Amino acid sequence: MNQIAISFGTFFFDNVFLTPPVIDAGVVVPGAELGFELWHSFTDAKALAGVTQSGAFGVELNGITSGTLYSFTSIPYVVSLGQASAVIDYKASFDFGTGSAYTFSLSASVALVMPERIDWSTQPEMSIQYLTEVIEAFDGTEQRIALRDTPRMSLSYLYSMTDEQQYLFDNKLATATGTMLVPLWPLQCRLSRGISPGDTRIDLIEVSAHLASSETILVSEYDRHEILSVESVAGQAVTLKTMAKNDFSESAIVVPLRIACPADESNSTSLLRGFDQHTITYDLDETQIQKPATVDDFERLNARPIFQFRPDRSKDVTTQYNRLRETLDPLIGARSIYDRARGAVKVFGQTFTFFTEAERQRFEDFAELMNGAQGEFYIEGPSQAFELSEDIVVPTYKFKIKSSGYTNFANSNSLAPIAAIKLYNGTTIYRTILNATGNADGTETITTKETTAALKTTDIETIVPLYIARFDSDEFRYIFDTSEVSTITKNIRQLLYADSAIDTKGTITI
């Protein structure tokens, strides 16, 4: 009893409001601008006596600092972090002469920019790592679980520095603390027209998927650069949040930026007194990952995607045969060898070369769909499976092939369960193999699950085995020769105990 009731009007009327009063911006880029608004609910106009700032080194407050403010009128303010230090703890107190100040607080961490051009004489590398746990049973069956939702990404660069760049870069690297803004130099894009001061849109010749997903980009031309914040990307046009301050010609490049930390150890080699080379690995911040949206347009067979990337035949395609065995050697008598699986597990070592960034991004999308090395897919073997010995004249489940050893199909799990018949007209026909038997004339008869219509041997380009497989490891390391040409080497493991016909209606012809 006898308590004073508190209502909405108690707080709303005759008060000053800051929206928002506190901003925790996290990691920000140099030159970033953050805004807030001030208004009051007094019935009469109030006089702003002044603004007291703390932690304002390198921070600039843009807005009214004194004068008459009318009620219910919003006054915008912008805090510019032009030359701010690494850690920002900024406060602005607005004094209305009522005996109390109304305070706005801003905390942030400014990332150090690394705009220096890299040395392409040593190929830069981009590594994307997943975390996949492999649980393998005694008989060779396995279960894989991806433990990381987003992959870990790292970059390895070489910097060559001469003259005054040498000690400037060395001092910068030695004294740097906290996070950095690192350009993805291999994923740079070119301008279709120059940039003028005041532009809020830039046009590119091509847009990489990583640049389209970036919030911050770097425009670099020789020894000049500028950091720009991205509002949106539509087609080949990039809309900026703020106006460009500098002018750049068409020879400038646009590079996506990522928040990262340098590795615990980096190396420098002094070849001459005035020439140094720095090798640095950056680990991108996983809490602020920016990855492109995955595009899933891959053909599927039996609910599994088909691996449609052709290996670089200028480099050897290797095949390793791993046998699952239990060997007992009691040191006396003969050894006892027990085969845990019929046949050998094949591991294909293949190198893929991408001549455009779109091709590399397509491979990255496929790896993302597989969660690194968890998913199963179909892959063509590096050699032929067999050849038809005669034409197929009527629809049939059986056809004759030349002697190829497929008669061991029932005795081994190593032979491919599906054959891909590639025709010269660009069509690919997939057939599930049930069994194979030998004939007296030395040929073999293949029995398939699906019927095959009339088919001439002269129309067939090749018949390749189609294996069920997984990536052997969950690390994808791309090595860039140029901003367009890149390579990756992967080991792909055949699966022996996977069901090859999950969906009997899934066999497709493309």
Q: Output phi, psi for 231, to 5 deg.
A: -90, -50
pLDDT at residue number 46: 83
First to last CA, the chain: 83
444 shares a domain with 365: yes
Residues 144, 235 share a domain: yes
In a domain, 115, yes or no: no
Give the whole-angstrom CA distance, residue 300 versus residue 375. 13
Domain boundaries, position 368? 300-494
Residues 141 and 105 in one domain: no
pLDDT tens per residue, range 146-156 = 777 788 899 99
Token pair in block for residue 393: 């004249």
| Residue 117 lies inside a defined structural domain of this protein | no
Say if residue 487 is in the same domain as residue 353: yes
In this structure, the answer to whether residues 145 and 209 fall within a common structural domain is yes
Domain for residue 291, yes or no? no
Tell me which range, 127-136, 173-182, 459-468, is most confidently predicted by mean pLDDT.
Answer: 459-468
pLDDT at 433: 86
Q: Range with the lowest mean pLDDT among 147-151, 263-267, 329-333?
A: 329-333
- pLDDT of 176 > 80? The answer is no
Whether residue 351 is predicted with pLDDT greater than 90 in this model: the reply is: yes
As beta bridge partners, residue 101 has 95
455 and 317 together in one domain = yes
Tokens matching residue 437: 């038997």
Number of domains in the chain: 3
Question: Which range among 43-52, 66-75, 359-368 has the greatest average pLDDT?
Answer: 359-368
The pLDDT score that the predictor gives to residue 138 is 60
In this predicted structure, the answer to whether residue 507 has a pLDDT above a threshold of 50 is no
Among 110, 139, 171, identify where a domain stops.
110
Q: Is the dihedral of CA 435, 437, 442, 448 positive or negative?
A: negative
Shared domain for 177 and 212, answered yes or no, is yes
SS3 185: helix
- Pairwise CA distance, residues 383 & 380, whole Å: 8
pLDDT digits (tens, 9 = 90+) for 195-212: 999 889 999 999 999 999
> What are the CB-based long-range contacts (under 8 Å, 24+) for 389-396?
389/443, 389/457, 390/457, 391/454, 391/455, 391/456, 391/457, 392/452, 392/453, 392/454, 392/455, 392/456, 393/454, 394/454, 395/451, 395/452, 395/453, 395/454, 396/451, 396/452
Task: Provide the mean pLDDT of the chain.
Answer: 84
Pull the structure tokens for residue 283: 């680990």
Residues 238 and 307 occupy one common structural domain: no
Asked whether residue 329 falls in the same domain as residue 456, the answer is yes
What is the reported pLDDT for 499? 60
| Among candidate residues 43, 77, 110, the one where a domain is terminated | 110
Residue 295: inside a domain: no
Is position 508 within any domain? Answer: no
Q: Which of 254, 284, 314 is the last residue of a domain?
A: 284
Looking at the predicted structure, is the pLDDT value of residue 502 above 60?
no
Residue pLDDT, tens place only, 421-445: 899 988 888 988 888 888 888 888 8
Instruction: Record the pTM.
Output: 0.81
Based on the domain organization, do 193 and 325 belong to the same domain?
A: no
Residues 6+ apart with CB under 8 A from 367: 128, 471, 476
Helix, strand counts (H, E) of the chain: 4, 36
The pLDDT tens digits for 221-248 are 888 888 888 889 998 999 998 888 889 9
Give domain status of residue 292, yes or no: no
Q: Are residues 339 and 487 in the same domain?
A: yes
CATH of the domain at 72: 2.60.40.10
State percent of the chain over pLDDT 70. 92
Residue 318 maps to a domain: yes
Whether residues 53 and 199 share a domain: the answer is: no
Q: Is residue 118 in a domain?
A: no
Hey, which of 73-77, 156-160, 417-421 has the most confident mean pLDDT? Answer: 156-160
Of 32-41, 128-137, 146-155, 499-508, minimum mean pLDDT range: 499-508
Higher-pLDDT residue of 454, 125: 125
